Structure 1
Amino acid sequence: MTEVVFHFNVADKLTYARRLARQALRRETALAITAEPHDLLELDRTLWHMEPTDFVAHCHAEDAEPALLQASRITLSADPRLCAHRDRLLNLGPELPAGFDEFARVVELVSLTDEEDRARARRRWKAYAAAGHPISRHDAAAGGVR
């Protein structure tokens, strides 16, 4: 069954997502990232403009050739079912991601200050819990992801 981890008190979700992507790459873990299309474009732009030592190679599932998609550890997609790997899914979107239960772990980010985002996260938490998925919490304000 898919494990779900909520990282709450996230000051900037895109910055935090970049850190998680960099961490996954360093640990040689595959990470699919799903979000609204405009957020994926912004994340893509920032991943290309990181410091050279922090560069995170990635691809878009919708545009990638099959060989590139298979070789990429970090994949961006509005539809995570298009991603080749099923290790971890980072959801930056407002709803439960399509096909989330195909992944070993789903990571949800919850804003520190955006009350609407926090309310949507509570609804996602309830949906995961109702489906029986084990859920854990991580306080991003306490540190831990660099």
Structure 2
Amino acid sequence: MTDVAFHFGAPNKLEYVGRLLRKAVARGARLTVLAVPAQVQYLDVSLWATSPTDFLVHGVDNGTSPDLRCPVVLTSKVHPALSSHGVLVNLTHEMPEGFDVFDRVIEVVSVDEEDRATARLRWKQYVQQGYAIQRHDLKLKGTE
């Protein structure tokens, strides 16, 4: 069964995800990031532009088959082939369709009240489907 974790309290979701991706890739993880197109575009630019020596190699699913050799794939739609990445990072307001092909799902939740409200709904949906959820409060970890 897929492990589900909620990371609550990210002051800036996209900046947090950039740090999360760098740490995870450094540990050998392969991740898929599910986001709306504008977020995919922002992450695509920011992951290359951090610094000349600190870019994160990634692929962007632009409707064709994404390059699965990349440790990170940015997409607006989950494809079964992406399950080889093992981890799905969800930035959308919906429970991802097909999430259960991944070993782990990380739901990133900002401090925005609307984002928190939709996260509560997703939490309930996961629980109703029998998933145990891990909670990570980013404010307690000093991630501001």
TM superposition score normalised by structure 2: 0.91
Asked if the contact 1:33/1:80 (under 8 Å) is kept, the reply is: no
Asked if the contact 1:70/1:84 (under 8 Å) is kept, the reply is: no
| RMSD of aligned Cα (Å) | 1.8
Deviations 1:16-70 (A, max 9, x none): 010111112101110000011111111111111112332110001335666xx22
Aligned to 1:90: 89
Give unpaired runs (5+ residues) of structure 2. Answer: none
CA shift for structure 1 position 144: 7.1
Deviations 1:77-102 (A, max 9, x none): 11122525241000001101121011
2:141 is equivalent to residue 143 of structure 1? yes
Asked if the contact 2:29/2:85 (under 8 Å) is kept, the reply is: no
Q: d(CA) in 1 for partners of 2:127 and 2:102?
A: 16
After TM superposition, the structure 1 stretch with the greater mean CA deviation from structure 2, 77-86 or 133-142, is 77-86
**Which aligned segments of 4 or more residues in structure 1 are displaced greater than 6 angstroms?**
none
Question: Of 92, 114, 117, which aligns to 1:116?
Answer: 114
1:49-68 matches, cutoff 5 A = 49-62=49-62
Identical amino acids, percent of aligned pairs: 42
Number of aligned positions between the proteins: 142
Aligned to 1:28: 28
Secondary structure in structure 1 of the residue aligned to 2:84: coil
Secondary structure in structure 2 of the residue aligned to 1:38: helix
Q: d(CA) in 1 for partners of 2:93 and 2:34?
A: 10
After TM superposition, the structure 1 stretch with the greater mean CA deviation from structure 2, 1-10 or 48-57, is 48-57
Give unpaired runs (5+ residues) of structure 1. Answer: none
